[in-house]
């Protein structure tokens, strides 16, 4: 069934100086700030009243910097006092310390480009992840997506720690990336996928060897 009129979502991306996977539906005007805001993010670089996101006609959203000390950027461009109209997939950076992702589930029809009705599928154009015809929202972080694509590309073969490092951290030596960093990324990806898996994990861990896509999802 096609879902319509779902609310846009702001979510914290991995790499920010705060807990990942926090998200807020945008149903009204939301103040973003360091304390006592609708979206409170306790990072010292943020101003108390840093930015605001508001909803206008057709559930479209816009963001405005509130003359913050360290600025607000969208897709790498710093905002002036003029509001910026957000689009699905936009990346918002607050004070150079917190990264938010804007997701608009109404941007395109959900099922029109779905290429697989069961198991795991990644839309090659939008990079949306689908499990059993349900889209994962909000989108995966860049590192999670690279890891998942690496596993998909292996087509059921085992993906080792070194394989993961080579794809996710190509500019770092293998010895420079800890086991904890790899394990943490794998755990975050599995936790995100688990929200749609309904007791049927799509990834399989082979202890001491690596992980792979389960054969019934390949």
- Asked whether residue 115 is assigned to any structural domain, the reply reads no
Instruction: Pick the last residue of a domain from 77, 103, 129.
Output: 103
The mean per-residue pLDDT over the stretch 193-214 comes to 89
Whether 95 is in a domain gets the answer yes
Q: Name the domain count of the chain.
A: 2
What is the domain-level CATH number for residue 192?
1.10.10.10
Tell me which residue range forms the domain holding 51: 9-103
Between CA 139 and CA 175 the distance in angstroms is 30
pLDDT at 216: 63
- Distance (Å, whole) CA 101 – CA 87: 10
Q: Specify which of 26-30, 68-72, 135-139, 203-207 reaches the highest per-range mean pLDDT.
A: 68-72
Q: Does residue 126 sit in the same domain as residue 38? A: no
pLDDT above 70: percentage of residues in the chain: 87
- CA angle centred on 198, ends 196 and 202, rounded to 5°: 70
Q: How confident is the model at residue 112 (pLDDT cuts 50, 70, 90)?
A: very low
User: What is the per-residue pLDDT for 200?
Assistant: 84
User: ∠ at Cα 106 (137, 3), nearest 5°?
Assistant: 75
- Same-domain check for residues 55 and 127: no
Residue finishing a domain among 44, 72, 103? 103
pLDDT 10s digits, 125-168: 888 999 988 889 989 999 999 999 999 999 889 999 999 999 99
Does the model's pTM come out above 0.95? no
């Amino acid at each position: 069934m096609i879902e319509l009129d779902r609310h846009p979502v702001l979510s914290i991306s991995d790499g920010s100086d705060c807990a990942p996977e926090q998200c807020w539906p945008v149903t009204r005007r939301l103040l973003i700030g360091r304390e006592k805001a609708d979206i409170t993010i306790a990072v010292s670089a943020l101003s108390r009243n840093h930015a605001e996101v508001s909803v206008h006609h057709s559930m479209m959203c816009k963001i405005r910097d509130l003359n913050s000390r360290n600025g607000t950027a969208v897709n790498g461009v710093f905002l002036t006092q003029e509001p910026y109209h957000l689009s699905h997939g936009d990346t918002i950076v607050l004070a150079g310390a917190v990264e938010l992702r804007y997701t608009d589930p109404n941007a395109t029809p959900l099922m029109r480009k779905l290429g697989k009705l069961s198991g795991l599928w990644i839309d090659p154009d939008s990079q949306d992840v689908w499990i059993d015809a349900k889209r994962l929202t909000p989108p995966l972080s860049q590192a999670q997506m690279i890891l998942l694509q690496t596993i998909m590309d292996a087509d059921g073969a085992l993906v080792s720690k070194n394989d993961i490092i080579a794809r996710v951290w190509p500019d770092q030596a293998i010895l420079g990336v800890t086991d904890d960093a790899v394990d943490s990324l794998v755990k975050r990806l599995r936790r995100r996928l688990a929200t749609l898996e309904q007791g049927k994990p799509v990834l399989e861990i082979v202890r001491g060897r690596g992980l792979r896509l389960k054969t019934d999802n390949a």
